[in-house]
Amino acid sequence: MKELVDVHYRDAEVIRLVVDNLNIHTPSALYEIFSPQEARRIIQKLEFHYTPKHASWLNQVEIELSVLSRQCLERRIPNAETLTSEIAAWEKQRNQQKASVYWGFQTKDARRKMQRLYPDLT
């Protein structure tokens, strides 16, 4: 965070961070690393936006990156130009297919698989 504030975006008025709900992605974590004054200085430039805990768009991104890795990147790619063109071709194909994330695990499935954790609603 310090590098974001002091190096990459030092002229920005505010830096908006989209983060998951991991316990280290909180302003208080900075107080564990830096002095209170330094932590406060860094935090004043940051604006935290947390993704939902369950079925977030972040999960979808992770799934899509996994698909990219399996379908496009599981081989040696000789240079950055080839990598860029391969990813662009893969992306174009995925968009033409209107590929989307399928959430196969539904609430009814969860209730069946984890019966002991869910109350009977009947």
Helices (H), ranges, 15-79 = 27-33, 36-43, 57-68
- Give every residue of the chain whose pLDDT is below 70, as ranges: 21-25, 52-56, 103-105, 118-122
User: Is the Cβ–Cβ distance between 33 and 39 less than 8 Å?
Assistant: yes
pLDDT tens string 12-47: 999 998 877 666 667 888 899 999 999 999 999 999
- List all residues 6 or more positions away from 94 whose beta carbon is below 8 Å from its beta carbon: 67
